[in-house]
Amino acid sequence: MVEGQQAVSGIGLISNAGARFEAPETISSHGRFEDVPRGGYDPGQHLKDMQLDGVAGEVLYPSQGLFYFKVTDPPLMSAIFRAYNEWLAEFCRADPARLKGIAMVNLDDIPDGIRELERAAKMGFAGAMITEYPPEERRYDHPEYEPFWPRRRPSPCPSPCTRPRGGKARSAGGKKTLRDASSRATKAFYPRCRCAT
């Protein structure tokens, strides 16, 4: 569920694709969908942009989609990810040799996450994005995640893109978790964004 003033996404920085540092005043964190270059959602235009820039192929990672890891309702998050994955698979079908997608997978329900990963493989995805920092009480070294990792799955499944090795980040004020570091970095880049910690 998305509650009250919860900021789920921000289109501003994504609308800056193509902005050049020679004109820094054109780079803004504010924006509307109308400001997003057509190549950001139209695969035909995207391929033309790639040609213009001399790019032979791309791996398409979630950008706007990363904001949806903040959705607090796990079934809703999974539904959003499935819809995103279907959209991206269709986008990549414009030229599968040049466009490789990275799926989004929610692991709040691990069997459901495995099913979505297997579905992503059938759709041709090159990998999958999972939350970088699961809740501290359910870190990725917990045995319940074992069926998800590549050595436990058939080889056609894409590998998850994010799997931290654990550990703590140190600061002058004492030990901080990696989740704390991520939250601080997010707040530095998106100061108006409320992040779950």
Top pLDDT among 57 and 171 is at 57
Residue 79 has pLDDT above 70, yes or no: yes
CA distance 107 to 114: 8
CA distance 89 to 103: 9
pLDDT digits (tens, 9 = 90+) for 13-28: 556 665 656 777 766 6
Q: Which domain holds residue 187?
A: 169-197
What is the mean pLDDT of the segment spanning 46-68?
A: 88
pLDDT over 90 percentage in the chain? 34
Point out the least confidently predicted range of 51-60, 71-80, 130-139, 163-172.
163-172
Which pair of structure tokens corresponds to residue 107? 């692991």
Per the structure, the count of domains in the chain is 2
- List the end-to-end C-alpha distance of the chain, in Å, as a whole number: 17
Burial category of 112 from C-beta neighbours within 10 Å (exposed 0-12, middle 13-18, buried 19 and up) = middle
Do 102 and 176 fall into the same domain?
no
pLDDT band at 154 (very low <50, low <70, confident <90, very high): low
The predicted pLDDT at position 66 comes to 79
Do 98 and 194 fall into the same domain?
no
Do 46 and 121 fall into the same domain?
yes
The predicted pLDDT at position 122 comes to 92
Pairing of β 127-129 and β 159-160 = parallel
Do 173 and 149 fall into the same domain?
no
The predicted pLDDT at position 196 comes to 32
Location of structure tokens 């998305």: 2
Do 98 and 175 fall into the same domain?
no
What is the mean pLDDT of the segment spanning 113-122?
A: 92
pLDDT digits (tens, 9 = 90+) for 59-76: 998 877 778 888 889 999
What does pTM read for this prediction?
Answer: 0.70
Within a domain: residue 2?
Answer: no
CB–CB of 176/137 below 8 Å? Answer: no
Within a domain: residue 7?
Answer: no
Pairing of β 58-60 and β 127-129 = unpaired
Neighbours of 54 (CB within 10 A): 6
Residue 37 has pLDDT above 90, yes or no: no
Strand-pair partners of 170: 175
CB–CB of 77/108 below 8 Å? Answer: yes
Within a domain: residue 174?
Answer: yes
What is the mean pLDDT of the segment spanning 181-185?
A: 46
Residue 1 has pLDDT above 60, yes or no: no
Residue 4 has pLDDT above 80, yes or no: no
Do 128 and 154 fall into the same domain?
yes
The residue count for the chain: 197
